[in-house]
């Protein structure tokens, strides 16, 4: 809310600053006039008069306000969007310890290597693995 208000004030200030600069008349005749040229006079400072008109004062004030608001808005924008580390978050529940799988007694991987292609298959299964017949299929309805 405050951020949006300050942005609106900054935009209005920028418009007033642009208008006050564009309405001012030119003060010098270029670089030659600044160092003792044709328009040099005792009441001039390095060839340029230091007149304190309303437009000059408005330009200085609007420029200062613009820089101050820009600085404040820059600080406000970086404070609200600072990245957070995932390490700053605390865990609600600690992770459960891994439990080993129950042992069934038979290995999941066969203990003998698979036959190579083209090699003769063993005639009978090994004695440690009993052969069980398949169950009968369910009756058809």
Q: Would you write out the chain's pLDDT as a tens digit for each of its 141 residues?
A: 899 999 999 999 999 999 999 988 776 655 555 565 555 555 455 555 555 688 889 999 999 999 999 999 999 887 665 677 777 777 666 666 667 666 666 666 666 777 777 766 666 555 566 667 778 888 887
Contact between 20 and 55 under an 8 Å Cβ cutoff? The reply is yes
Look at residue 59 in the predicted model and tell me its pLDDT. 93
Look at residue 141 in the predicted model and tell me its pLDDT. 72
Look at residue 30 in the predicted model and tell me its pLDDT. 56
CB count in 10 Å sphere of residue 93:
5
Contact between 40 and 33 under an 8 Å Cβ cutoff? The reply is yes
Look at residue 129 in the predicted model and tell me its pLDDT. 61
| Residues in CB range of 13: below 8 A, 6 or more apart | 62, 65, 66, 69
pTM passes above 0.75: no
């Amino acid at each position: 809310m405050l951020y949006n208000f300050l942005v609106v004030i900054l935009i209005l200030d920028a418009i007033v600053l642009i208008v006050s600069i564009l309405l001012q008349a030119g003060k010098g005749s270029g670089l030659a006039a600044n160092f003792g040229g044709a328009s040099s006079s005792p009441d001039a400072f390095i060839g340029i008069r230091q007149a304190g008109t309303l437009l000059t004062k408005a330009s200085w004030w609007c420029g200062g306000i613009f820089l101050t608001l820009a600085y404040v808005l820059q600080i406000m924008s970086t404070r609200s969007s600072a990245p957070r580390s995932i390490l700053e978050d605390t865990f609600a529940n600690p992770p459960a310890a891994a439990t080993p799988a129950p042992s069934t007694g038979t290995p999941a991987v066969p203990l003998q290597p698979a036959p190579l292609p083209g090699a003769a298959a063993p005639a009978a299964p090994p004695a440690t693995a009993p052969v069980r017949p398949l169950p009968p299929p369910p009756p058809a309805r």
